[in-house]
């Protein structure tokens, strides 16, 4: 019963605010704001490859969660005094993309421009969709937004998904969940003259492919 509750917070933080104050970034990653004694604020440091410097974007942990500087995640299992508390392990459902505190790829984002922050609060996952800073892409390996990451489509949920690399909108991916919990990925072409609509997730003639969008 407990782990079955899923809270979905479709809070699209379109842009975290750019800041130089909170953390002086010297490496890529998420770092606690040393000035925040409430342990809620953290900074995502992103490497700008063109000039080999870092830019910091400030975030606030959702609701009652706090930023644990060791795991670099928002969690309710953290005591702000510096001692980490060990709460019970998490039981989750397959209907959620979240299985533990931390960050996962956004299954609806085929261009890796957004990701989901998972925080277990009272037995339910609070899922917050965060957008990577412009020009950076969510790398599931590092869980960071990176300039150099090449977004390749991989199934993280069942269903049909647009192939964002295909500017003609004629191909899409079908993700099928197997009994072992893994996904099988197929690529399909829409029948001639039709295109794949990411809205209806169907091949249709009524969708206009945004070619050369800016
Ligand atoms: C960051 O660096 C600037 C300039 O060196 C300094 O004034 C500021 O106090 C530093 N901030 C933090 C949080 O260390
Ligand atoms: C934490 O971030 C919030 C949101 O920007 C800000 O209002 C607050 O002053 C920050 N707290 C500290 C201690 O910097
Ligand atoms: C590096 O480039 C970014 C993006 O163009 C810019 O915002 C930043 O100020 C630059 N940093 C330095 C140290 O020049
Ligand atoms: C912080 O530490 C003090 C003293 O050790 C304790 O009384 C207090 O409950 C702690 N606060 C938190 C949020 O754990
Ligand atoms: C949590 O408990 C496990 C097993 O009891 C232990 O190995 C781990 O170090 C603990 N983690 C923290 C942060 O205390
Ligand atoms: C969590 O999962 C474990 C192992 O699957 C199970 O033994 C336990 O009863 C579950 N706990 C809850 C609260 O569902
Ligand atoms: C992701 O991690 C795997 C295993 O550690 C590694 O083989 C792979 O090269 C990594 N991919 C990227 C894009 O970093």
* Per-residue tens of pLDDT for the chain, all 214 residues: 444 444 444 444 434 445 455 789 999 999 999 989 899 999 999 998 888 899 999 999 998 899 999 999 999 989 886 544 444 444 444 446 888 899 998 887 878 899 999 998 888 888 999 999 988 999 988 999 999 888 888 888 899 998 877 888 999 999 999 998 888 989 999 998 899 998 899 999 999 988 644 4
Predicted local confidence at residue 41, as pLDDT = 94
Q: Is residue 154 part of a domain?
A: no
Same domain, 130 and 67: yes
196 and 106 share one domain: no
CA distances from 186 to 8, 66, 151 (A): 28, 40, 17
Contact status, residue 169 vs residue 160, Cβ threshold 8 Å: no
Cβ of 84 closer than 6 Å to ligand 5, yes or no, is yes
**Tokens at residue 94, please?**
């397959």
Distance CA 18, CA 38 (A): 21
Please state the three-class secondary structure of the chain as a single string.
Answer: CHHHCEEEEEEEECCCCEECCCCCCCCCEEEECCCCCCCCEEEEEEEECCCCEEEEEEEECCCCCEEECCCCEEECCECCCCCECCCCCCCCCCCCCCCCCEEEECCCCCCCCEEEEEEEECCEEEEEEEECCCCCEEECCCCEEECCCCCCCCCCCCEEEECCCCCCCCEEEEEEECCCCCEEEEEEECCCCCEEECCCCEEECCCCCCCCCC
- Using CA atoms, how far residue 211 sits from 41, 166, 168, in Å, is 39, 10, 7
Strands of the 183-189 sheet, one edge to the other: 159-162, 171-177, 183-189
Query: Is residue 141 domain-shared with residue 166, that is, in the same domain?
Result: no
Measured from CB, residues less than 6 Å from any atom of ligand 4 are 79-81
Examine the domain organization and report whether 10 and 108 are in the same domain. Answer: yes
Residue 191 vs residues 60, 159, 184: alpha-carbon distances, Å = 46, 18, 22
Which of residues 93, 122, 146 is at a domain's end?
146
Structure-block tokens of residue 196: 């794949």
- Same domain flag for 65 and 30: yes
* Same-domain status, 66 and 115: yes
Residues 178, 18: Cα–Cα separation, whole Å: 42
Phi, psi of 4, deg, nearest 5: -85, -20
**89 and 62 together in one domain:** yes
With respect to residue 153, please indicate whether it lies within any of the assigned structural domains: no
Residue 151 within any structural domain of the chain: no
Q: Contact 124/98 with Cβ under 8 angstroms?
A: no
Are the C-beta atoms of residues 80 and 38 closer than 8 Å to each other?
yes
Domain count, the chain: 2
Task: Tell me, yes or no, whether 77 and 12 share the same domain.
Answer: yes
- Which of 96, 124, 146 represents a domain boundary (last residue)? 146
Range of the domain at 117: 6-146
CA of 21 to the centre of ligand 2 (A): 11
- Both 111 and 87 in one domain: the answer is yes
Whether pTM > 0.75 for this model: the answer is no
Same domain, 51 and 115: yes
Task: Tell me: do 93 and 192 sit in the same domain.
Answer: no
Residue 1 lies in a domain: no
Final residue of a structural domain among 93, 120, 146: 146
Q: What is the reported pLDDT for 69?
A: 93
Q: Determine which residue's CA is closest to atom 11 belonging to ligand 6.
A: 91
The verdict on the CB of residue 35 being under 6 Å from ligand 2 is: yes
Atom of ligand 6 nearest to the CA of 2: 13
Shared domain for 170 and 132, answered yes or no, is no
Q: Which atom of ligand 5 is nearest to the CA of 86?
A: 1
């Amino acid at each position: 019963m407990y782990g079955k509750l899923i809270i979905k917070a479709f809070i699209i933080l379109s842009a975290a605010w750019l800041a130089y104050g909170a953390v002086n970034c010297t490496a890529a990653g998420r770092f606690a704001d040393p000035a925040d004694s409430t342990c809620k604020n953290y900074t995502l440091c992103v490497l700008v490859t063109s000039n080999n410097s870092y830019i910091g974007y400030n975030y606030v942990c959702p609701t009652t969660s706090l930023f644990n500087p060791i795991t670099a995640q928002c969690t309710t299992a953290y005591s702000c005094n510096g001692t980490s508390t060990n709460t019970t392990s998490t039981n989750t459902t397959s209907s959620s993309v979240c299985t533990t505190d931390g960050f996962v790829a956004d299954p609806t984002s085929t261009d890796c421009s957004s990701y989901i922050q998972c925080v277990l609060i009272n037995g339910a996952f609070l899922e917050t969709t965060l957008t990577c800073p412009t020009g950076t892409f969510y790398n599931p390996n590092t869980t960071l937004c990176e300039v150099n990451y090449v977004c390749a489509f991989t199934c993280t949920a069942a269903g049909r998904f647009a192939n964002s690399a295909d500017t003609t909108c004629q191909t899409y991916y079908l993700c099928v969940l197997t009994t072992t919990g893994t996904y099988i990925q197929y690529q399909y072409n829409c029948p001639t003259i039709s295109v794949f609509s990411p809205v209806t997730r169907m091949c249709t003639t009524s969708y206009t492919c945004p070619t050369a969008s800016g």
